[in-house]
Amino acid sequence: MIGKMSKWLTVVAAAAILVMSLNSGVSAHELKVGASAPKSGPLVGGAVVTHWPNIRLWVEQVNARGGLKLSDGSHKLKLIELDDATNPGTAIANHERLVTQDKVDILLAPYGTGFNLATAAIFDKYGFPQITSTAITDKIPDLTSRFPGIFFTLGTTTAFSQGPIDILTKMRDAGEIGNRVAMVNVADAFGIEMAVVARDELKKAGFEVVYDTSYPLGTQDLAPVIKGAQDSKPDAFLAWSYPPDTFGLTEQAQIAQFNVDFFYTAVATAFPGFGGRFGAATEGILGAGGINPGNAAMLDYIKAHKESQNVAPDSWASGMVYATLQILEQAIEAVGKIDNPAIIKYIDTNSFDTVVGTITFKDQNNEKFWTVGQWQDGVFVGVNSEGRPGAQTIIPKATW
């Protein structure tokens, strides 16, 4: 009798706790959030600046607010992180594991163009929305026709490459620069596609590409690349680079005293560590991205990022990573439950307030984004965009 009474009391107590939980609007069920990106390998430097801190900040902030507010109550988030080791095969396996073994409720897009393209079929297979934040490609029409749940925020390769070429054209037409361009690229999906498109666009704009080479992802010694560019006597240097090589190319250019009036490196030029490493020598360097320094929401985000992650975000894709998480949060809460088809439809048909401004997808693509930024007085600001306000006036590059 005592045993039966004890069991009965346990059941009653559990029921009471459940009722109290429901009445308070707080569910005992956590939502699992799955993320896979580099924690090792050549792209780890970019992921630890741009990708991981923003995911952790978002999870922290959502949980501080009590969790995602769904129709059955508020659900806190539990983050599961996996290292893809900068390996596409590992990235695919990790995303499969997150769905089939870890049973995640929310699956986040990976870091990098190639990795988003590699894992798109996994997101589609299991019906998860894939809001990319670090992918640039001209394959967007093809990908969106195949995968109804994929969304792009940084634009196409053609639109992105046109930014620096537009600046080059204006400088040349104003008599500030000559016609000779040295172009290099990392031999990765991003770098290869950017170089192919830029090569054609430069020709159309009437520029002479006097040096054109690529180098493998993870190349340690970039001195020969800079020497080849310098020997071609260019007026402008254009590098479709990833984080390690952005730092390496800039360092070698300074060592070689390779001075041109237009010096552009792509991913990681916007990193706070880039400014910290090169100091005053960054003045006038151009790179991928930028921000509107007058955007109050962006300034609030930067402050929160510093306080939470003990480091500043980068001045380009960091904000976009966070913005995609804001979009996902708003869509899930509007739908009121984890219903991926409904969430995808909501993302596709609504506008979202984010730290980078309002984002609306047209054919699953965001058409408003920063293309070129520049270091000015120790801050990486936007100087060219597709539809975003607040572009700053370009300044001359400092001599090394």
H runs (alpha helix) in 174-260: 189-204, 223-231, 243-255
3-state secondary structure of 209: strand
Distance between CA 358 and CA 294 in Å, rounded?
15
Contact predicate 187/111, CB 8 Å: no
Distance between CA 73 and CA 30 in Å, rounded?
11
**For the segment 286-343, what is each residue's pLDDT rounded down to a tens digit?**
999 999 999 999 999 999 999 999 999 999 999 999 999 999 999 999 999 999 999 9
CATH topology of domain 158-292+372-386: Rossmann fold (3.40.50)
pLDDT for the residue numbered 28: 54
Amino acid at 300: D
Element (H, E) at 172: helix 157-173
Residue-averaged pLDDT of the chain? 93
Contact predicate 243/45, CB 8 Å: yes
State in Å, rounded, how far the first CA of the chain is from the last one: 88
pLDDT for the residue numbered 383: 98
> 31-156+294-370 domain in CATH 3.90.320.10?
no
Question: Hey, where are the domains in the chain?
Answer: 31-156+294-370, 158-292+372-386
| Residue 215 CB burial class (10 angstroms; 0-12, 13-18, ≥19) | buried
pLDDT for the residue numbered 15: 45
Distance between CA 331 and CA 336 in Å, rounded?
8
Torsion of CA 325, 330, 335, 341, to 10 degrees: -40
pLDDT in tens, the chain (400 residues): 444 444 444 444 444 444 344 433 444 589 999 999 999 999 999 999 999 999 999 999 999 999 999 999 999 999 999 999 999 999 999 999 999 999 999 999 999 999 999 999 999 999 999 999 999 999 999 999 999 999 999 989 999 899 999 999 999 999 999 999 999 999 998 999 999 999 999 999 999 999 999 999 989 999 999 999 999 999 999 999 999 999 999 999 999 999 999 999 999 999 999 999 999 999 999 999 999 999 999 999 999 999 999 999 999 999 999 999 999 999 999 999 999 999 999 999 999 999 999 999 999 999 999 999 999 999 999 999 999 999 999 999 999 9
Could you tell me which of 189, 191, 190, 209 has the C-alpha nearest to residue 199? Answer: 209
pLDDT for the residue numbered 354: 98
3-state secondary structure of 326: helix
Among positive and negative, which fits the CA dihedral 343, 345, 350, 351?
positive
Could you tell me which of 151, 81, 127 has the C-alpha nearest to residue 363? Answer: 151
Contact predicate 93/20, CB 8 Å: no
Contact predicate 237/225, CB 8 Å: no
Element (H, E) at 106: strand 106-107
pLDDT for the residue numbered 29: 85
pLDDT for the residue numbered 25: 40
Instruction: Report residue 220 as tokens.
Output: 């340690």
Torsion of CA 220, 276, 168, 298, to 10 degrees: 120
pTM: predicted TM-score of the whole model, two decimal places? 0.88
pLDDT for the residue numbered 1: 46
Could you tell me which of 241, 228, 253, 244 has the C-alpha nearest to residue 185? Answer: 241
pLDDT for the residue numbered 4: 46
**For the segment 56-108, what is each residue's pLDDT rounded down to a tens digit?**
999 999 999 999 999 999 999 999 999 999 999 999 999 999 999 999 999 99
